[in-house]
Amino acid sequence: MQEGNIVVKVCMGTGGIAAGGTAVVSAFREELETAGVSASVEKNCTVHNVGCRGFCARDVLVDVIVDGEKTTYEYIKSDMVSRIVEEHILQGRPVEEWVVKDDYHTFHEKQVKVVLSDCGEVDPEDIESYVNRGGYAALSKVLTTMTPEETIGLIKASGLRGRGGAGFPAGLKWEFARKAVGEPKYLICNADEGDPGAFMDRSIIEGNPHSVIEGMVIGAYAIGASKGYVYIRAEYPLAVERLKIALDQARRKGVLGDDIEGRGFDFDIKIKLGAGAFVCGEETALIASIEGNRGMPRAKPPFPAQKGLWGKPTVINNVETLANVAYIVRNGADWFAQFGTEKSKGTKVFALTGKVKNSGLIEVPLGISLREIIYDIGGGIEGGRELKAVQTGGPSGGCITAGMIDIAVDYESLAKAGSIVGSGGMVVMDETDCMVNIAKYFLEFTQAESCGKCVPCRIGTKRLLEILERITDGRGRPGDVELLEKLSNDVRSASLCGLGQTAPNPVLSTLRYFRDEYEAHIHEKRCPAGVCKNLLTYSILEEFCKGCTMCARVCPAGAIVGEKKKPHKIIEEICVKCGACFETCKFKAIKKG
């Protein structure tokens, strides 16, 4: 057997499990036992479950570490494990054809990991794994050497801003709650991540729940809170389960509950499961839900820091914000502030998805350019197509055009461009995406998620969606563009909470940068991207048609006629525009337009 300390780490985040991670872990343990190699902690070979490694598209990712030298494998299935054990672990020869390729390393090169630094390294179900990497040292430092005011001052000096979307300074929010009158005080972790395509907070909790717990305890000490909640959607069963395990372990360890670390400070955390209402990501709606009421926002002020849960001072921070806290305390404000820009300090986690080669979870310094994210980290656009736009901030954000590829990704720059950082969704689009349809997609989401409390959001988003549906169906009218613009501004300015105030952003940003696509839909009855079904036409190019009859065989409407080995024809009146013929033709004889 290969001599030395051997560690096997298998990605067991949601992506890893979906790709077969559970079977891979079992296979490693079985193969090691069969080979006579113990996988117990006491011996020199251990198998660990770890959280998301970031490059989700390459799961199942597996690290084999021999005396500190790490080899990472990608796309691993359970039936590949025996060879890794035999050749790598027993004989010391890595299986080179399964080792990650160069793009795996370039995916990570420009990333700076703070929040994700321990994800993929620690076992999320073992508190000692976190402690061995410095976990809970920050809590001990705060409780033994710092006053609550000094703790708040450190967070303010670091420049940490809320990572849930608005970007409000975290230390300032803590200071407001610290000075507010009323007992008890509460600290809430907002884990109600609901943006389409976003999985940052879920992955942090799945991969390193103790970083969030430690951040919450430090925050509670700073503001004087004795009770805390993690508000997390029930659709995240793995995150919920690992959070429960972590909370139990933290209580047994003495870093949560009564008399924490013997310092006379009491603070405990409860889990509150949300039912998946997007509006409950808004802090006052979230508070209403915890109180047992329907999740609907209220007018502000008063702000939760003054009058929050059950009318008491309350701080609400999202998962990523709290996960930063322990690392800031451990390493110092200046260390954190070295990353990012003058006004946007630190790093930000993004879920990079869409038409990009390398999709996954990334953490980058704020101020990095969009070009670096898409082309250096993301590897460029799939299929060699051209970049068209990037949607940042989810349904509350906006679209950044390809012409703005060198824009800095920070709070100020994206806001100036008509978008937001948001919680961290980043969807890449190419020339096959219709921007009018994209705006409709996000409006469908926000309109369905509106709580209905205020008229501008309840009715305004419905009217916006109806206009967009009309345009994409080929029934657009002159004046629709101007109507969309006016109504969007009205909804944005008059809505009660952040959902309604930001819901028109995808419409306004696409109108700002892609007005010509709206005009083509309305006046030419044409979708330039070839996406909107009712605006499409299909025809057969006679010079390319071989008369193979394949298109006729797959046509569900019988709209294609012609003799075998002779050019065919599409009867437009019968065609249902399903695109089956276009996808089937091997000779590129079908024209879509």
| 577, two tokens | 């525009």
| 204, two tokens | 């942090």
CA distance 499 to 394: 11
CATH 3.40.630.30 fits 127-337, yes or no: no
* Beta carbons of 135 and 215 less than 8 angstroms apart: no
Confidence (pLDDT) at 394: 85
CA distance 52 to 201: 11
What residues have CB less than 8 Å from 206, skipping those under 6 apart? 13, 14, 51, 52, 124, 236, 238, 239, 242
Q: Which amino acid appears at position 67 of this protein?
A: D
| 72, two tokens | 């990472």
Domain boundaries, the chain: 6-100, 127-337, 347-430, 435-523, 537-592
Q: Is 185 helix (H, G, I), strand (E, B) or coil?
A: coil
Sign of CA dihedral 157, 159, 162, 166: positive
**10-residue block means of pLDDT along the chain (593 residues)?**
76 95 95 73 74 92 92 97 94 95 93 96 96 97 98 98 90 97 96 86 96 98 97 94 98 97 96 91 95 93 95 97 98 97 96 94 97 96 93 90 95 92 91 95 93 94 97 95 96 93 94 96 93 89 92 93 92 89 92 83
Starting from the edge strand earliest in sequence, which strands make up the sheet with 69-73, in order? 45-50, 6-11, 62-66, 69-73
Sign of CA dihedral 507, 508, 514, 517: positive
CA distance 519 to 528: 10
Closest by alpha carbon to 517, among 580, 589, 429, 577? Answer: 429
Confidence (pLDDT) at 40: 45
CATH code assigned to 435-523: 1.20.1440.230
CB atoms within 10 A of CB 86: 14
Q: Is 318 helix (H, G, I), strand (E, B) or coil?
A: strand
DSSP state of 373: I
The fold adopted by the segment(s) 537-592 is Alpha-Beta Plaits (3.30.70)
Confidence (pLDDT) at 580: 92
CATH 3.10.20.600 fits 347-430, yes or no: yes
Long-range CB contact pairs, 523-531, < 8 A, 24+:
523/476, 523/478, 525/474, 525/476, 526/593, 527/434, 527/436, 527/437, 527/472, 528/434, 529/431, 529/432, 529/433, 529/434, 529/435, 529/437, 530/432, 530/434, 530/592, 530/593, 531/432, 531/433, 531/434, 531/437
Q: Which amino acid appears at position 532 of this protein?
A: C
CATH code assigned to 6-100: 3.40.30.10
Q: Which amino acid appears at position 294 of this protein?
A: R
CB atoms within 10 A of CB 250: 25
Closest by alpha carbon to 439, among 497, 486, 506? Answer: 506
Q: Same CATH topology for 6-100 and 537-592?
A: no
Q: How far is CA 468 from CA 50, 290, 511, 518, in A?
A: 44, 35, 12, 9
* 62 membership: H or E segment, kind and range: strand 62-66
Confidence (pLDDT) at 30: 92
Classify each residue of 23-52 as buried b or exposed e, where b means 16 or more C-beta atoms within 10 Å of its C-beta. Answer: bbbebbeebbeeeebebeeeeebbbbbbbb
CA distance 519 to 529: 13
Confidence (pLDDT) at 38: 57
In the chain, count H helices and then E strands: 24, 17
CA distance 326 to 138: 5
